[in-house]
Each structure stands twice: as C-alpha cells, then as structure tokens.
Amino acid sequence: MIKHFLSLSSFSQSELLSLIHRAQFFFQNQHRPEVIHHLLQNRIFANVFYEPSTRTRCSFEIAAKRLGADIVNFVPEHSSVKKGETVYDTLKSLESLGVDGLIFRHADDHIIEQMKPFLKLPLINAGAGKYEHPSQGLLDLLTLFQEFEILAGLKIAVCGDIKHSRVAGSLMVAAKIFGMQIYLCGPDSLIPEVNEPNVQKSDFDQILPEVDAVMMLRIQLERHENLDLDPKAYHHQYGMNHRRQLSMKKNAIILHPGPFNRGVEISDDMVEHSQSRIFKQMNNGVAARMAILEWTMKGRT
C-alpha cells in the first residue's frame, strides 16, 4: 500500500494525534541515535523542490538522516529541467532510479493530484500551490500540543496574507478536525471567503486579548502582481509588536512559519520574545517530519 502524505484532511483526529505523539517521541529522542537511527536505515528519499526553501527542505533532510536514511537533493536549476524535462518525467526518473519516497514542493495548485496516480512510491506534500502545507500543519499542531496539552477549544488568530498561505490552509483544516476556533485578520483583499463555522474574520486588535496563539504570516510578494505595500503602514495596522503583545494573554504564544520580514509583520523584539515559539516551531519541524517519513514507510518492504 502506498502511503502518500498530501493533506491533513485525509487523517482522522485519532490518526493525527498518533502522529503528534510520535513526533513528540522524536522531539525527545532526536539526539539519541542509538534509539532512532536504525528506523529508516537503507531508505533513500529525494527532496524535489521547484520553489526556494530553507526550513522545510533542510528539516526534511535532517529528519531523514536522524532516522538513518539517505537523501538526494534535486535542484531544478542544475538538472534536466533546463533541457525541457517535465515534472512527471523527473519524478518517474527518480522513482526508476530507486528512491523510496519523494518530498515535493511546487508552485502549481493542482500538480500533486495530477502526479499522484502515476507514482508507485510515497509522495509527500512539502508545500504545493497555495492550498496546503501539511507537514507545517503537523509541526504547528505539535507546538500547540506541547504548549497547552490539548487542541480542542483553542483560539488562534491568523494575521497576514492568508489568501496565498498554504500554512493557513493546513491550519484551518486542522482546526476543523480538532475543534479549534480560527480568526482571520489582515487586509480585506488578503482574506479569503471561508464558509466554515469555526473560521471567521476578525479585527486583529479586538481579538488579540482572547486568543491562545497568534500565527503571523508574511506578505508573499512573489505571488502578487503590482502590490503597493508600505511596510511601515502595514506594520502599524497588522504587525506583531510590543504594544500588541501587551494585550495578549500571559500564556498566549506567537507563531510564524518563516521566513519572516522583520519590521513588517513582526518587529525585531517579538521574534525571540518570551512568548514567541518561532524557533521552537523550526525545531519541531524536524521531529514532525521524522514522524511523517516513518509513517510513509510503514508496511513497505
């Protein structure tokens, strides 16, 4: 059976909790090779990233190596893509060469579903199009679970370029599964229409005192055309800064998937503030992706 990891929506609540607990195990043991290094020995994964990435690509690579697997980094700029090779032919070539799983990122909204039927090995969505980023979703759930020991009933404000954010997409999927409440904040032009009972638009400053976590998102300039953005004005209206932090609950946390634009959606002093879990998210990314890689290989000979 081929186990693709494409969307959090394909998992039940109990299945996701199982992955979260496994990720927590890896978080606690990631520096203990005697415990975990044998789990994926002799497996080979390919990082196939058609978009730039630091955290996701590197954390998948580190996750694979901590579990004893090898990893091949495919770089389109130094490949047969320059000779006209299609995405399909690239993935089938890597499959034919003998990799055990494909970790795939691409800008196209629909390419994952197009490729899935033709592959005979696990495909892991490392961020495709603008709809979902499920491995980021899992690490965000792990971070929230570590902090609050429960997910049901949590209130989360998401502020920024939500319309183009696959991170927000996966968080909204997870919120529906676990019964969390999501408040969408930011410029009206960057907030999508969502018809879900647990998702609503909100004024950022009004909702801040009520939420348990704030997910800050950058403006994805690479997905806009002719966007006239004044960084100072945006920061004043929607940025996470000391003034807004003071209005939050004392146990509320600040999240950001990165990369972050200091002084735009978040001020310098908030990135590593005591209520920030931004770098904790990055660390959790390795543990969450270890759980994902292991899950895709279970039952495979």
pLDDT in tens, 183-202: 999 999 899 998 899 999 99
Per the structure block, which two tokens stand in for 15? 């299945």
Q: Is 38 exposed, middle or buried (0-12, 13-18, 19+ CB in 10 A)?
A: exposed
pLDDT score at 29? 97
Residue 257 counted as domain residue: yes
Whether 173 contacts 132, CB under 8 Å: yes
pLDDT score at 75? 85
The pLDDT averaged over each successive group of 10 residues in the chain (301 residues) is 94 98 97 97 97 94 98 85 88 97 94 93 91 95 98 97 92 97 95 92 98 92 62 93 98 95 94 97 98 93 63
Instruction: Give the SS3 label for residue 269.
Output: helix
pLDDT score at 222? 54
Based on the fold, state whether residues 59 and 154 are members of the same structural domain. no
CATH value at residue 179: 3.40.50.1370
Based on the fold, state whether residues 139 and 90 are members of the same structural domain. no
Residues linked to residue 183 through DSSP beta bridges, in sequence order: 157, 200
Q: Which of 287, 200, 275 is nearest to 26 (CA)?
A: 287
Residue 1 counted as domain residue: no
pLDDT score at 223? 53
- The Cα 284–Cα 140 span in angstroms is 8
Domains: count for the chain: 2
pLDDT score at 219? 82
pLDDT per residue over 211-268, tens digit each?
A: 999 999 988 655 555 566 788 999 999 999 999 999 999 999 999 999 989 999 999 9
Based on the fold, state whether residues 16 and 126 are members of the same structural domain. yes
The residue type found at 79 is S
